[in-house]
Amino acid sequence: MNTNKAREEIIDMFKNALKEDKIPWRQGWMIELPENADTKKAYKGLNRMILMMVSQNRNYKDNRFCTFKQAEKNGWKVKKGEKGIPIEFYSIYDVQEKKILTSDEVHEFKMKVNRGEMTSEEYDERIKPIIRVSHVFNAEQIDGIPVKELMEHKVFDESNVIEIRDAILSEMEPLGFRTGGNSAFYSPVGDYIQLPNMYSFRTAEEYLSTFLHETSHATGHESRLNRNIKNLFGSEDYAREELRAEISSAFIYQDIGIEPNKDIDDNHKAYIQSWIEVLEKEPNELIKAIRESQDIADYVVEKYNRGIELIKDKGLKIEEMDIEKKIDEYKELARNTENDLKLAYKKMDELIPKENFKVISKTR
């Protein structure tokens, strides 16, 4: 099967799930990530999502996969008549140096473009994607493969929510964090995340899910992964960014070892139609979105891992700006100090973005 045919199957599978009001990256969730039975490495990005969705459709309970050759190498045998699953292997190639680049090297080339040291045309001419399609089989399609060892799964612990949040924030400075109000959003203008107070959420898990969604948006800041995130609500670019934030936050959940809630809330339902419209118009946008979502997840998980160590070593505690408390303080200032009336209200206005700020937002 060629690359285009494989992608068509993947995109159709994804769109059909959305049309059934199913969120593909939440449906058929596997607590254990799909992994290669030979190398023991977890699949990532697009391949992770493909294998999770196919596992649900075919009702596979085993999370292990491998190619026909890998099965042969280990003395296993793919059962007669079994159909493989097409997955993609994607690499970035430096034409000038004639080598495959690491993610860090790719990021450095992108930063050169941002700094004006290389034009976009020079980047496109030098840096090329290489894609090949391979077929893998689930362990349940293979004879002779050892029985899978049972693993102890990590249970969601509400007490860890603040630790996870603060670990990420500590390594994403100068990203700000504010608490209060009735909306959850990331402000590209002010470079800060604002969430309602934790007690406003139905569960601690919902609070964490919303935080990771807004954190995913924050990675688009020019000082981080530099995406176009100043998009007007309802635009196609807005839908594209929401798609990335949703997929990447699900990947982050998996990568830090938490099984997210499978429920679809009203916010998901509100976005489904816009995602379908984007994918109908530009089918390959899905591939690009998933690939960038994995980059976002890798970035945030790296910050999380570093931040956890910092918290353990130094007992770091992130200070929150309590919006409601600040507004009360400014109101009191306005009442008691007539000369500072304009200043007081100016300070209040600075706390929450104006409607015309083009804020990336998600309210739970």
Per-residue pLDDT tens digits for 307-360? 888 776 655 555 566 656 666 666 666 666 655 666 665 665 565 554 333 334
Bigger pLDDT: 275 vs 269: 275
> What confidence score (pLDDT) does residue 9 get?
77
Side by side, which strands form the sheet with 192-195? 321-322, 176-179, 192-195, 185-187, 360-361
Q: Give the pLDDT mean for 228-233.
A: 78
Cα atoms in the 13 Å half-sphere on the side-chain side of 273: 6
Q: Is 94 helix (H, G, I), strand (E, B) or coil?
A: strand
Highest mean predicted confidence (pLDDT) among 24-28, 85-89, 191-195: 191-195
Q: Is 232 helix (H, G, I), strand (E, B) or coil?
A: coil
> What confidence score (pLDDT) does residue 361 get?
41
pLDDT at 154 over 80: no
- Region of poorest pLDDT, from 214-223, 299-308, 354-363: 354-363
Highest mean predicted confidence (pLDDT) among 46-60, 183-197, 226-240: 183-197
231 CB-near residues (< 8 Å, 6+ apart): 237, 238, 241, 358, 360
pLDDT at 179 over 70: yes
142 and 77 Cβ atoms separated by less than 8 Å: yes
299 and 254 Cβ atoms separated by less than 8 Å: no
CA distance 186 to 218: 6
Bigger pLDDT: 219 vs 345: 219
CA distance 317 to 167: 9
> What confidence score (pLDDT) does residue 169 get?
93
pLDDT at 185 over 60: yes
CA distance 225 to 110: 9
Specify the pTM. 0.74
**Residue 190 DSSP code:** T
Q: Is 65 helix (H, G, I), strand (E, B) or coil?
A: strand
Mean pLDDT of the chain: 80
Nearest to 220 by CA among 296, 302, 166: 296
Q: Give the pLDDT mean for 179-188.
A: 88
| Region for 87 from its dihedrals, namely left if φ exceeds 0, alpha if ψ lies in -120 to 50, beta otherwise | beta
Share of the chain above pLDDT 90, in %: 30
Bigger pLDDT: 335 vs 74: 74
> What confidence score (pLDDT) does residue 356 get?
32
